[in-house]
Amino acid sequence: MIALIDYGMGNLHSVTKAIERAGGRIRLVKTPEQLKDCDRIVLPGVGAFRDCIGALHQSGLDEAIKERCAAGTPFLGICLGMQVLLSRSFEFGEYKGLDMIPGDVICFPRTLPAKGLKIPHMGWNDVLLPEQAHPVLEALGNQQCYFVHSYYCVPDDETHTLAQCGYGDIRFACAIGRDNIISVQFHPEKSQAAGLALLESFLQWNP
């Protein structure tokens, strides 16, 4: 059973259907109790950082997720679900994150549009994998994935960066992780065949 964390911010149809298409069975999880007998955890990204972290805290899911991750349950974060893993974010102020991956979430520089690069970074872009790609990311091959975000993650420890993406002359971490945790900035549930392949490989991953 895959725990899909529902913190009440919006639509989880696409990510539910995509995981089901990839072969997983979903349970929408709103409380720590519902998390208990799940084999894997997916934290999707909807809404703003502040609202997401606030909702996770209120429900107690923040601590429950940390505990399950510490116990080795495979975890996948998507978009905002990746960003909340970091220590803090500067989206509409300064907010503390789950601090599971040390680092900051910062905005693309306001100087980008003058160079013809739009904010948000929106569309299909390359996921640049290192030679020894993470087993979950390997499934992507050289297919592009769909991104839509104005903020990006800067992990303190560069070994936590699992893949990069280039936007103008900025290279940012578009996949991060350690141990049984992996998170991606792009949306696998919106990335057609590439995204479904990634979800399939997450479902089979035994870290």
Partner 1 sequence: MLSKRIIPCLDVAHGRVVKGVQFVDIVDAGDPVEAAIRYDEQGADELCFLDIRASHENRDTLYHMVTDVAENVFMPLTVGGGVKILEDIENLLHAGADKISINTAAIHNPELVKEAAERFGSSTIVVAVDAKRVGDAAGEHWECFTHGGRKPTGINAVEWAQKMSDYGAGEILLTSMDCDGTKQGYDIPLTRAVAEHISANVVASGGVGTLKHLAEGLSDGKADAVLAASIFHFGEYSIHEAKEYLASHDIPVRL
Enumerate residues 126-165 that contact partner 1 by CB under 8 A: 126, 144, 146, 148-150
Active site residue 13: no
Report how far residue 71's alpha carbon sits from residue 63's, in angstroms, rounded to the nearest whole number.
Answer: 12
Instruction: Output 4 or 64, the one with its CB closest to partner 1.
Output: 4
Which of 178, 201, 172, 179 shows the shortest CA–CA distance to 188? 201
**Active-site entry in 79, 153, 165, 174:** 79
Q: Are 6 and 28 in contact (CB under 8 A)?
A: yes
Active site residue 189: yes
Is residue 112 a contact residue for partner 1 (CB under 8 A)?
Answer: yes
Output phi, psi for 99, to 5 deg. Answer: 60, 35
Active site residue 91: no
Report how far residue 98's alpha carbon sits from residue 66's, in angstroms, rounded to the nearest whole number.
Answer: 8
Report how far residue 130's alpha carbon sits from residue 202's, in angstroms, rounded to the nearest whole number.
Answer: 18
Q: CB of residue 24 vs partner 1: minimum separation in angstroms?
A: 14
- 119 in helix, strand or coil? coil
Is residue 107 a contact residue for partner 1 (CB under 8 A)?
Answer: no
Instruction: Output 5 or 69, the one with its CB closest to partner 1.
Output: 5
**Active-site entry in 69, 165, 187, 200:** 187
List interacting residues with partner 1 (CB under 8 A). 10-11, 13-14, 17-18, 21, 47-48, 110, 112-113, 116, 118-126, 144, 146, 148-150, 166-167, 187, 189-192, 195-196
